[in-house]
Amino acid sequence: MVENAEPTTTGDLALSVRDLTVALPKGMDRLYAVENVSFDLQRGKILCIIGESGSGKSVSANAIMGLLPNALRVQSGSIVLDGVDVTTSPPHVLRDLRGRVASMIFQDPLSALNPLMTVGAQIEEVMAAHDVGTPQSRAEKALSLLREVNLPDPEVMIHQYPFRLSGGQRQRVMIAMALALEPAVLIADEPTTALDVTTQAQILELIREIQQRKGMSVMFITHDFGVVAQIADDVVVMEKGHIVERGSAQQVLNAPEHPYTKQLIAAVPKMRRDDRETDAPATGVSQLLEVEGLTKTYRTARGMFQPPRIVKAVNDISFDLAPGRTLGVVGESGSGKSSLGRVLMKLLDNEGGSIRFEGQEIAGLSEKAFKPLRTKIQMIFQDPFASLNPRATIGYSLTVGPIAHGMSKAEAREQAKALLERVGLNASAYDRYPHEFSGGQRQRVGIARALMFRPKLLIADEAVSALDVSIQAQILELLQEIQRETGVAMIFITHDLRVASQICDEIAVMQKGQIVEYGPPSQIFIAPRSEYTRELVAAIPGRASDLAEAAQAGSVR
Amino acid sequence: MLRFLLNRLVQIVILLVIVSLIGFFILNLIPGGPLAQYALDPGMTADDMERLKEQLGLNRPIWVQYLDWAWRLVQGDWGHSFRDGASVLDVIARHVPATLLLMGSSTVIAIGIGTWVGIRGATHRYSTFDNVATIAAMVALSIPTFWFGLVGIYIFSLQLGWLPAGNMYSVGDQSVLDYLHHLIMPSIVLALVHIAIWSRYMRTATLDVMNQDFVKTARAKGLSERRILMKHIVGNALLPMITLAGMQLPALLTGALVTETVFTWPGMGRLFLDSVSYGDYPVVMGLLMFSAVLVIFGNLLADIAVAIVDPRIRLS
C-alpha cells in the first residue's frame, strides 16, 4: 500500500493531515467519506489533490477549514494547521484560523459572493472579522489587493456589486479576499472548473504567480490532470476516500504506479493533432445537413418606451454535414454554440438563413409539418441528472416518444431493451428508475433514448461535460462505435477542445455568434488561422508535451 | 427610474379602469338597485320614486351612468352619498385614518414577530421552537380572524376586563394611551394570520440562503456566526419578503374590514358594510377605487423598495 510510504517529515510543513477518517451518515454507499488519509503540504509548495467525484477530496479540504456539514464528522485522525490541531479545537479557535491562517476559494465564483455587498466591503470584512487595521487602512488594503489580482480599474471595481463582474473577475475577487490577511495556506477547491478555458489559464497563472511571490502554500483540488501538469509541485491521488498514490508532479505524471492513476491519466482527453480516420467521405455524397446564413437574435424587452436589447446569438452561420461525420462546435460560454444546437433542433426559431435537412428546407416549416422529421434529429443533453424524469421508469422515458409517433408498444419495448444492451446497460434497466443509476449510466440511457428513433443526426450539447474523465472516455468511445454502426451524423457541442479533437472530423470555433474558424482538427490545433483559436488552444491546461508522454507511459490500454 | 414609473403609471391606469368597470357593473346587478331602501318607505309613491331616480341620474342607460361617474372621478368629484348627500371623498377621508392605523400597527407586529420566528425556525430547524411555531402557524391560518376576535373579546374584555371590547377610544378620554389601549386587541387579532404567513415564508427564505455558497465563503473568512446571520443571511432572505409584503396588502385590507366589524372600529370596513346594505353606490364605488389605489401603490412601493435594496435590479 502506498499509505505506508509516509512522506519524509521535515519541520517545514504548512499543513499536516494524519490518519484522517470522516464518517458518512448511515445508509450511504460506503462508511467513510475519507479513511486514514495522511498527507503533508510543504511550505511554499503547491499540492494538488486529484480524484473523481466522490473521491473525498472536497471533504478533506472542508475538514481542514472546519467547514464540514453537520452530517459529516471527523471520526479520528489529526489535522495540524500552523501548529494547531483543527480536529480538537473549539469553534472560536477555528474561527480565528479561518481567513487568517488558512483561506479558501471555491468552484463557482458566481454564487460565492454575497450579491448585496460591494466587492470592497466583502474584502474589508475579512480584516474586520480578525480585528486587523482601521476602516481606512482596510479600504486601502482592499484596493491594493484588487490591484494585485490584476482586476481592471480597481478604484471603480471596489465599489461594484458582484453581478457586474464576469466569472473570472469574481474568482479574482475571491482570491483577493483569500489573500487579505496573508494566510500561510490557501485551499482552492476546483477554482477553475466553472470557468472558460482562457479564463482558467489566466487564473491558474495568477495563483502560481502569487504563490511564488508570497511563498504561500497552496492545496489545490482538481479532477483535471491537465491542471496538475500545469501547476502542481506535489500530487496526491484519491479514490473512494483513500489515497492511492502520492509523489512529485513529475513522478506521478511520468511514472504513475497505481492502476487507478494510470487509468485516470489515460482517460484525460488528449489533444489529437492528426485527423480522425473515417470511412464516411466528406464530399462527393449528398449532404445530410446544409446550413446557410443562419441567424438567431435574442431580444430582451426593456419596457414599453424603450428599444429592446438585441443579442445576435447565432450570426450568419453556414456549414455542411455529411452522413457518418461529426462536426464539433467549440466556444466559450456565451459564444452561441448552444443556441445554434437549439435552432437546428427547431427548439428555437431562426430569423434568417436556411437549414436543409436531406435536401428539404426545414427552417420555415411549421411545427406540424416538421413533426415527422423531428424524429430524425435527436439530442443528447448535458446534465444526465436533470434530463430524465425522476418519476418515470427508464423504459417509459425511452418509449414514450416513439409510441407517440406511432410505434407499437411491443415493438418499442423490444427496441428499448435492445438499445439498453447496446449502450452497455442491462435490459433489466427498463423497469428501473433514474435515481438507481450513476451519472455515466444515465448518460448511456440518454444516448439510448436518442437512438430509439433511429435518427440521422445526433446533436450532443456538452454531452460529456458533467462526467468524470474516465466515464467521459467511455461515453466518447460509445458514441464513436454507434456512429460507425449506424452512420449517424453528429454535431458535438463542447467547450472542451481536447474532447472535440478526439471525436470530430471538422471543428467550428464560435465566438460571439460567429464561426471564426472552420476546419479539420489538424488545422485548428496545429496551424490555427484565427487569433482567437490560437488563444483557445494555448489556454488548454497541461498542453505541454509531458502530459502526452505521461499518458503514453501510463496507458493501460 | 422615470421610464419605469411611466410604464407602471400606464399599467395602473388600465388596471383601475378594469377594476372600476367590474365594480360598477356588478354593483348594478344587485337586485333592487340603489333605491331599494327608499322602496321600503311606506310614504314613497311611484311618482316620488321616479323623481328621485331622475334627480340621481339613475334613469339613464347604465353605460352613460358609468362614463358620467368615471369622468367626474377623474376631475376629482367622487360623487355624493345617497344617504345624506355628503361628499364621498369627505366620507372616506373621515374613515381612512382609523383603518390605516389598524393596518399599520398590525403590519409592524406581523413583520416583527414573523421575521424573528422565521429566522429562529430556520437556524434551529426541527427544534421544539420550530415545531411549535409550525403548528401555531397552521392553527392561525386555519381559524378565521373573526373567531379570534370574538374569543379575544370574551377572554380579555368580558372575563379579565383588561382590554376594551370595541371602539377606537373612550368617550371623554382621547389620550394617546387610550387609543393604544383600544388598538392592542384588534391589531394583534388582525396580525395573527399575517405572522403565520410571514414566518413560514421567512423560514423558507432563510433556509434557502443558508445553503448558498456565499454563506460558506463568509464562514471560510472567519466571520462570527452572528455576523454571518445578520449581514449575509438575513439581508438576502428579506429580499423576496418585500415583494410578499406588497402582495399581502389586499389580504391585510380585507382582514382589516372583518376586524373592524368585530371590534366596532370606525374605519373603512364598517363604512363599507353600512354602505352596501344601504345601497349607497357612490360610497361603495369610492371605497372600491380607494382600496384599489391603496393596493396598487403599496405594490409599487414594494417594487421600488426591492430595487433600492437589491443592486442587481435597476429600474431603468
Is the model's pLDDT at B298 over the cut of 70? yes
From chain A, pick out residues whose CB is under 8 angstroms from the CB of B235. Answer: 116
Determine the residue of chain B that is closest to A123 in CA distance: B221
In sequence order, which residues have a C-beta less than 8 Å from that of residue B292 and are 6 or more positions away?
B15, B16, B19, B20
From chain B, pick out residues whose CB is under 8 angstroms from the CB of A111. Answer: 212-214
**Minimal C-alpha gap between A498 and chain B (Å):** 30
Q: A300 in contact with B at a CB cutoff of 8 Å?
A: no
Give the nearest partner residue to A111 out of B213, B221, B239, using CB atoms: B213
User: If you write DSSP's letter for every residue of A82-110 in order, what string do you get?
Assistant: TTEEGGG--HHHHHHHBTTTEEEE-S-TT
**The pLDDT of residue A554:** 41
Q: A112 in contact with B at a CB cutoff of 8 Å?
A: yes
Of A198, A472, A466, nearest to A332 by C-alpha is A198
Longest dimension (CA), chain B: 86
Give the nearest partner residue to A99 out of B6, B222, B316, using CB atoms: B222
Q: A177 in contact with B at a CB cutoff of 8 Å?
A: yes
Q: What does the DSSP 8-state code read for residue B159?
A: I
pLDDT digits (tens, 9 = 90+) for B211-231: 889 999 999 999 999 999 999
Determine the residue of chain A that is closest to B306 in CA distance: A116
Location of C-alpha cell 502554500? A217
pLDDT digits (tens, 9 = 90+) for B53-63: 887 777 788 88
**The pLDDT of residue B80:** 85
Q: A117 in contact with B at a CB cutoff of 8 Å?
A: yes
Q: Which domains does chain B have, with CATH numbers?
A: 97-267 (1.10.3720.10)
Which residue type sits at A480? Q
How many angstroms separate the Cα of A194 from the Cα of each of A105, A107, A473, A527?
A: 13, 6, 20, 28
**The pLDDT of residue A553:** 43
**The pLDDT of residue A265:** 84
Burial class (CB in 10 A: 0-12, 13-18, 19+), A486: middle
Alpha carbons within 13 angstroms on the beta-carbon side of residue A87 total: 20
Look up residue A112 and give its three cell numbers: 460565492
Give the nearest partner residue to B213 out of A106, A126, A302, using CB atoms: A106
Whether B184 and B96 have beta carbons less than 8 Å apart is answered as no
Determine the residue of chain B that is closest to A129 in CA distance: B223
Dihedral-angle region of residue B8 (phi above 0 means left; psi in -120 to 50 means alpha; beta otherwise): alpha
From chain B, pick out residues whose CB is under 8 angstroms from the CB of A161. Answer: 311-312
**The pLDDT of residue A8:** 43
CB contact under 8 A, A116 and B223: no
SS in 3 state form for B263-294? CCCCCHHHHHHHHHHHCCHHHHHHHHHHHHHH
Location of C-alpha cell 503514453? A552
CB contact under 8 A, B213 and A112: yes
Give the nearest partner residue to B214 out of A100, A111, A163, using CB atoms: A111
Q: Which domains does chain A have, with CATH numbers?
A: 2-6+44-57+90-267 (3.40.50.300), 384-454 (no CATH)
Which residue type sits at A389? N
H-type helices in A215-258, by residue range?
Answer: 225-231, 249-254
- Average pLDDT of the residues in B127-138: 93
In sequence order, which residues have a C-beta less than 8 Å from that of residue A133 and are 6 or more positions away?
A127, A141
Buried b (16+ CB within 10 A) or exposed e, B151-163: ebbeebbeeeeeb
- Average pLDDT of the residues in B182-190: 91
Give the nearest partner residue to B311 out of A65, A129, A161, using CB atoms: A161
**Minimal C-alpha gap between B137 and chain A (Å):** 28
Longest dimension (CA), chain A: 76
CB contact under 8 A, B216 and A106: yes
Q: At what angle do helices A469-486 and A259-267 cross, to 10 degrees?
A: 50
Distance, in Å, from the CA atom of A332 to the CA atom of A511, rounded to the nearest integer, reads 7
Of A402, A423, A422, nearest to A413 by C-alpha is A402
CB contact under 8 A, B221 and A113: no
Whether A217 and A187 have beta carbons less than 8 Å apart is answered as no
User: If you write DSSP's letter for every residue of B24-73 in order, what string do you get?
Assistant: HHHHTTSTT-TTHHHHT-TT--HHHHHHHHHHHTTTS-HHHHHHHHHHHH
pLDDT digits (tens, 9 = 90+) for B230-264: 999 999 999 999 999 988 888 898 898 889 988 88
**The pLDDT of residue B134:** 93
**pLDDT, averaged across chain B:** 87
Distance, in Å, from the CA atom of A515 to the CA atom of A506, rounded to the nearest integer, reads 12
| Tens of each residue's pLDDT in chain A, 557 residues | 344 444 444 458 889 999 999 988 887 777 888 889 999 999 999 999 998 888 888 889 999 998 888 888 888 899 998 888 988 889 899 999 999 999 999 888 888 999 999 999 999 999 999 999 899 999 999 999 999 888 888 888 899 899 888 888 899 999 999 999 989 999 999 888 878 888 888 889 999 999 999 889 999 999 888 888 889 999 999 998 899 999 998 889 888 899 989 888 877 776 666 666 666 666 666 788 899 888 888 876 665 566 777 788 888 889 999 988 999 999 888 788 888 988 888 888 888 888 998 888 888 888 888 888 888 999 988 877 788 888 899 999 999 989 988 889 999 999 999 999 988 888 888 998 888 888 888 888 999 999 998 999 999 988 888 788 888 888 888 999 999 989 899 999 998 888 888 888 899 999 988 999 998 888 888 888 899 998 888 888 765 444 544 444 444 33
**Minimal C-alpha gap between B213 and chain A (Å):** 5
Total residues belonging to chain A: 557
**Minimal C-alpha gap between A260 and chain B (Å):** 32
Distance, in Å, from the CA atom of A359 to the CA atom of B13, rounded to the nearest integer, reads 54
A–B CB contacts, 8 A cutoff, strictly below: 82
CB contact under 8 A, B221 and A125: yes
Determine the residue of chain A that is closest to B226 in CA distance: A129
Of A552, A554, A551, A556, nearest to A268 by C-alpha is A551
**The pLDDT of residue B176:** 82
**The pLDDT of residue B73:** 87
Location of C-alpha cell 471555491? A106
Distance, in Å, from the CA atom of A493 to the CA atom of A337, rounded to the nearest integer, reads 7
- Report ipTM for this prediction: 0.79
What are the helix and strand counts (H, E) for chain A? 20, 20
**Minimal C-alpha gap between A154 and chain B (Å):** 19
Helix (H) or strand (E) holding A132: none
From chain A, pick out residues whose CB is under 8 angstroms from the CB of B310. Answer: 115-116
| Positive/negative CA dihedral, A501, A502, A503, A505 | positive
**The pLDDT of residue A11:** 58
Distance, in Å, from the CA atom of A477 to the CA atom of A484, rounded to the nearest integer, reads 11
Beta strands in A165-224 (DSSP E): 185-189, 217-222
**Minimal C-alpha gap between B224 and chain A (Å):** 7
CA B49, distance to chain mean position in Å, is 38
Location of C-alpha cell 372600476? B20
Strands A185-189, A326-330: pairing is unpaired
**The pLDDT of residue B227:** 92
CB contact under 8 A, B222 and A96: yes
| Positive/negative CA dihedral, A513, A519, A521, A523 | negative
pLDDT digits (tens, 9 = 90+) for A417-466: 999 998 888 888 899 888 888 888 888 899 999 999 899 999 998 888 87
H-type helices in B127-267, by residue range?
Answer: 128-142, 145-152, 176-210, 213-220, 225-227, 235-262
Residues of B near A (Cβ–Cβ under 8 Å) read 3-4, 6-7, 10, 212-214, 216-224, 227, 231-232, 235-236, 239, 309-312, 316
